[in-house]
Amino acid sequence: MFKKILIANRGEIACRVIKTARRMGIATVAVYSDADRDALHVEMADEAVHIGPAPAADSYLAAEKIIAACKETGAQAVHPGYGFLSERASFCEALEAEGIIFIGPKPKAIRAMGDKIESKKFANAAKVSTVPGFLGVIEDGAHAERIAGEIGYPVMIKASAGGGGKGMRIAWDETEVRDGFERARSEAKNSFGDDRVFIEKYIVDPRHIEIQVLADAHGTTLYLGERECSIQRRNQKVVEEAPSPFLDAATRRAMGEQSVALAKAVDYQSAGTVEFIVDRERNFYFLEMNTRLQVEHPVTELITGIDLVEQMIRIAAGEKLALAQADIKLNGWAVESRLYAEDPYRNFLPSIGRLTRYRPPVEGKSGEAIVRNDTGVYEGAEISMYYDPMVAKLCTWAPTRLQAIDAMSDALDGFTVDGIEHNVPFLAALMRHPRWREGRLSTGFIAEEYPDGFAPMAPTDEEAAILARVSLSTHLVDAERRANHVDRLRPTMPARRDWVVKIGDAYHALTAGDAVAADWRPGQSVWRGEIDGRRLTAQLRPFANGLRIDWQGLSVRTRVFTPRLAELDALMPKKLPPDTSKMLLCPMPGLVVSIAVSEGQEVKAGETLAVVEAMKMENVLRAERDLTVGSIRAKPGESLAVDAVIMDFA
């Protein structure tokens, strides 16, 4: 077994690998860029080596610097995590040339499966079911239009070397093919240094289901069940679960056996994932094979009890798998929510900044459930614009699917994150969505259920009544504290019985008897209590003369008044927000890639105004209505803050 390994990655996956290596008694080496000098993975590792400036191309993607760090520290092997160099065969070969072991598959498998075009050709030759498409190199937009017309709309345009939703577009007609081709090729070049794209038929209402495989160098290849990854936004996974609520035993076995056959065909050694799209009749089609550890691997670990990182290390060290296919049992249900630094109320655009408060739920056993949080940040850490915006992966396990979902709902309600915008409100709302809870999923779920984006939700009458009682309870606890400490030298005032709680524009008349006992003290950000037999976890954030309560995707501002003050408050004028309808504001901190219009130009609704890049994703800003461009205040190459004015309209 290795004595020391280097983790060629950052963030939560670097921390995840370090935890398993530490348990196995293996020393670890972290690498870090300028932006990650104070990162959690650097603190957790036994040693750390600086490898360059913040841009990934100059640090985490610089293979020669990783190899130099191995030589400097005496690391015998490298775990690549996911992303960066994890699926680059040339990196694997460079390590082997230096006598350093790559904790992952051999170059042959990486090359065969790592390129989407070549992997499709390989799968076709191996008689694996694949989606109809054109696997050759596409020359230009006109060529892309001809191919799409031959295949039949809709089509998917995908980067050959892509992943993580980058370099991927769905096109429903000729116009979208040409625009999508250019965007996909540009993103592919910027993200992967390879601008090749291909086109395949887009399956309507598909599910994204993947099979986890594990193979050693001694001829044993296993499948560890499946993961349902259909909850996606912009082709990037948001919530995953294991097993799938859709598969039956026969389909699971067929997909598993096909995945094993494919892995054996390329002499696969390590953990890997074979991804499929599955239609309404449970027909499945090979999508791609990820020759690395997946982001969502924890849900498989939770239902099988197998540490995939440990198995990767043991396989790389030459050990035989101590398991047979008959030993693989699926126990209970697991759900993973990806917590991203993005604003769900602004079409999920990236957010950066410092985590002024970061308080995840307590890990471990919680009743019948288990809570796990894989993260690479801490309170006070900074979310950088240079890397993926994922902050944490919150996972729950329970005996049944609905129990796991309810455990996730409660854990999200208690996950406090301040200083950046984040998608916890969306994730919390998703956990209570009827279609999600029933398991009626497809990769179009988010687009179908939130066609206009995720907007702040108004509480129902029942929910408002619950939140009013929470607000009153905290008010009375705080009032008691003031009476016992701050006001103890003043005459005691008689206890008031009648109160009014304002939520939004509505007033709720309550009595002191409507307050409920809770595990909360002034200053705490999480409130836990029980209302009418229902356990409740909510987050509290005070503001001037009021309290904001976040619960199950709701975010309401509350104020507690005496009846007379409530009457006076109702007479106060309302402050209206400024009118920005004649401006194009930058929706996120980012870099202006291009300005598509000129001053005085008349533009139709839907036409492109500008393209802004943030966290390696190009965001096209389009006209919401017919308009005339006034002055343009930004230029290509300029870095803009959120809400900076790009242009205004006449």
Sign of the Cα pseudo-torsion (114, 115, 116, 120, in order): negative
Sign of the Cα pseudo-torsion (6, 7, 9, 12, in order): negative
Rg from Cα positions in the chain: 27
- Is 486 buried (19+), middle (13-18) or exposed (0-12) by CB count in 10 A? exposed
Report the distance separating Cα 614 and Cα 616, nearest Å: 5
CB 466 within 8 A of CB 527: no
- Is 331 buried (19+), middle (13-18) or exposed (0-12) by CB count in 10 A? exposed
Residue identified by tokens 């709701």 is: 554
Q: Where are the beta strands (DSSP E) in 166-290?
A: 166-171, 197-201, 207-215, 221-233, 236-242, 270-278, 284-290
Beta pairing partners, 289: 274
DSSP category for residue 614:
E
Residue 464 amino acid letter: A
CB 410 within 8 A of CB 537: yes
The yes-or-no answer on residue 12 being catalytic is no
Among residues 12, 145, 176, 288, the one annotated as catalytic is 288
Q: What are phi and psi of 312, to 5 degrees?
A: -60, -45
Report the distance separating Cα 206 and Cα 204, nearest Å: 6
Report the distance separating Cα 476 and Cα 480, nearest Å: 6
CB 309 within 8 A of CB 374: no
SS3 553: coil
Give the residue numbers annotated as catalytic, written as ranges: 288
